[in-house]
Amino acid sequence: MPTITQAQTPQIEKIKAAQHVYMWGEGMGITTDEADQQALRTLISQISLSVESQFSTQSCYGTGSELKENVSSVVNTYSSATLNNAERIVFGEEPDAKVFRYIKREDVAKVFTNRYNKIKEFAHFGDKYLEELKIADAVRYYYWGMILTRSHPDANELTYKSEIDYQERNLMTYFPKQLDDIFEDIDFKTKEIELEEDHKIVHLGVYYKDQEVQNLDYTYWDGRDWSSIVSAKDGRGILEFMGPMAESKENSKIKIEYMCKKEAKMDREVEDVLSKVKGIPFKSAYQPIEFNKKQKVEVVKKPGSPTTNTTKDLKFSDVVASEDYQNIVEKAIKLSQNHDFTSLSEICTPQGKDFLERLFSYGSVSILPSDDVTTFKVGDVTEVRAVPMSFSFRNNRKFIEDVVFGFDVNGKIDHVNFALSKIAYEDILSKKNWPKEEKQLIIHFMEQYKTAYALKRLDYISSIFSDDALIIVGNIVKKSNGPESRFGDHTVVKYNKQTKAEYIGKLKYQFQRKEFINLKFEDSTIKKAGYDKPIYGIQIKQHYFSNNYGDKGYLFLMVDLTSIKEPMIHVRTWQPEKNANGEVFGLADF
């Protein structure tokens, strides 16, 4: 670190004199780092003072000393990504180090503009996911957008043109109204009740405006405490009660999850703001439920959504004795629940047996009732689809997944996968110009890929990457301190090329340290590379959840699907954000 002598003090005095242009902070310490931190704190204090009057219009920040403290805390949420890049002058040598930090006032305004842009982006995501009935995602982005809005000094003036009614809305009122309206339109209906000794399971239908939700997160009161978070999927939810009072339990209360603090770990800025800005409670997120009898609801089909008989329209081969296949699945489930994996050899291939052992080690497993289980055949593969199961984990999380059982030509279970969502599945099947066999290849591959990470099938993942696969992983890094980078977009994405061995090695390390992994796919775009071979480019937005880490980003895979049993990935890229042109990597880039 070069030391700037007293000869630089005229420059410092000049900056101090231009108060209408600059904000600054000065610090002293035994070490340069200590002096620097003090200078930053002083700088943040100046910025806080400059916007204090704007935050005072929001009652949640209080008055007097409480206002000063709260505003300073909120301004600190901007510092990690921006203020640390302020210009720095070091003068005085350790142990008498001195540091001077300064920024232009116009650059501070850019910091707040960047947050406003993110707020509008969250409003857009909320609108988009609401239209798609992805309620868990919609309420998460609406709530995060609301909290980010409250962290902005011009909160009361921020507006957004809604993509629902195309009206200009004030964001301070738009976000809470959207959340309240969603909570009011959510219904939980009792579909089935299972009773065992000291154990009651209530199977729920979960609806938004009488349509099955694609996803929704909630907790419920079990009589002693709030339960772990349950992630409902495709309109299915569950309540589970244990103990001597379980049988007589006839009602409860459900709380829709909207703060999503664990998911906020995917976005450090949001995580920081959630920890600094007071949370906003929504009474409408709490719903009482009676489950002493089954309830019916007339499910409304969303206009423009794929027809429910897509599979039938495509004329997949009828499966002879489909009940026999489903009976085998029931037997496999019972054996697995009793951990009698040895007996699975009678009805499973060695690979199928391994799948089931891994599946029933993926948390605590419960089977949910369903009328939607189907059996059909494409080529040599017979599948029993959409067997709903719930998976509970020690760290306070419960997922609901539809499970697919695949049979070989000898009628033995050969693979088990987590299914794509109904919308994603039917969207692929609705493509008009693709051969139906290739549609099923794509579905099968995407479900295998998702399941392989969840069940930590490292050998399989290694086998589907070609030895010379191009693997690129993007990571967000801070920009350099060049003058053009200050206080605008302060991050760039650095792309690292990895060999297959490096990628698999890192994956092994991650698998060993995670209780569970759950991947969620959305917004997929699939293109065929040519006409002679089934080589596809798959672009998809991926949410990655685990007990100790979460992220979101954009995945691209170029995969050869010539063989359903031996898919081969030639290119894999992952990027945390879209490129500057709004695109993600695709076939045209390789």
Strand runs labelled E in 165-318: 168-170, 186-196, 199-208, 211-212, 215-220, 229-233, 236-242, 251-256, 286-290
User: Do residues 420 and 410 lie in contact, with contact meaning Cβ atoms separated by under 8 Å?
Assistant: no
Strand partners, 477: 492
Pick the last residue of a domain from 419, 440, 460: 419
- Please write the tens of the pLDDT for every residue from 153-210: 888 899 999 888 888 999 999 999 999 999 999 999 999 888 888 888 899 999 999 9
Pick the last residue of a domain from 107, 135, 165: 107
User: Do residues 268 and 80 lie in contact, with contact meaning Cβ atoms separated by under 8 Å?
Assistant: yes
Residue 462 lies in a domain: yes
Residue 231 lies in a domain: no
Shared domain check, 470 and 406? no
Mean pLDDT on 85-89? 82
Q: How many domains, the chain?
A: 3
The CATH number of the domain holding residue 25 is: 3.10.28.20
Mean pLDDT on 286-302? 70
- Please write the tens of the pLDDT for every residue from 465-500: 999 999 998 765 444 343 333 334 445 567 789 999
Residue 188 lies in a domain: no
Shared domain check, 437 and 388? no
Backbone angles phi, psi at 410, to 5 degrees: -95, 5
Which has the minimum average pLDDT: 177-181, 309-313, 322-326, 552-556? 309-313
Q: Give the CB-side neighbour count of residue 476, counting CA atoms within 13 A.
A: 15
| Predicted pLDDT at 4 | 46
pTM equals 0.75
* Residue 576 scores a pLDDT above 90: no
Mean pLDDT, the chain, integer: 84
Shared domain check, 508 and 445? yes
pLDDT band for position 561 (50/70/90)?
Answer: confident
C-alpha closest to that of 389 among 298, 451, 325, 309: 451
pLDDT band for position 294 (50/70/90)?
Answer: low
Evaluated on CA atoms 251, 257, 259, 260, the torsion sign reads: positive
Shared domain check, 566 and 465? yes
* CB-based contacts of 277, cutoff 8 Å, min separation 6: 60, 74, 147, 150, 151
d(C-alpha 531, C-alpha 307), whole Å: 28
d(C-alpha 198, C-alpha 245), whole Å: 7
- Please write the tens of the pLDDT for every residue from 392-429: 887 668 889 999 999 999 999 999 999 988 878 887 88
Q: Which residue range forms the structural domain that includes residue 46?
A: 6-107
* Residue 74 scores a pLDDT above 90: no
More confident site: 325 or 580:
325
Shared domain check, 441 and 398? no
Pick the last residue of a domain from 395, 419, 443: 419
Shared domain check, 405 and 315? yes
Shared domain check, 516 and 390? no
Q: Pull the structure tokens for residue 445.
A: 């591959």
| Predicted pLDDT at 448 | 92
| Predicted pLDDT at 347 | 96
Residue 328 lies in a domain: yes
Shared domain check, 467 and 406? no
Residue 248 lies in a domain: no
Can you give the length of the chain in residues?
A: 590
Residue 12 lies in a domain: yes
* Beta strands 550-560 and 535-546, pairing class: antiparallel
Residue 262 lies in a domain: no
Shared domain check, 550 and 503? yes
Shared domain check, 408 and 505? no
Coil, helix or strand for 163?
A: coil
Amino acid at residue number 431: K
- For the chain, the farthest-separated pair of C-alpha atoms sits apart, in whole angstroms, at 91
The CATH number of the domain holding residue 355 is: 3.10.450.50
Q: Residues 546-566, buried b or exposed e (16+ Cβ, 10 A)?
A: bbeebebbbbbbbbbbeebee
Shared domain check, 438 and 372? no
Strand partners, 388: 402
Shared domain check, 559 and 489? yes
* CB-based contacts of 582, cutoff 8 Å, min separation 6: none
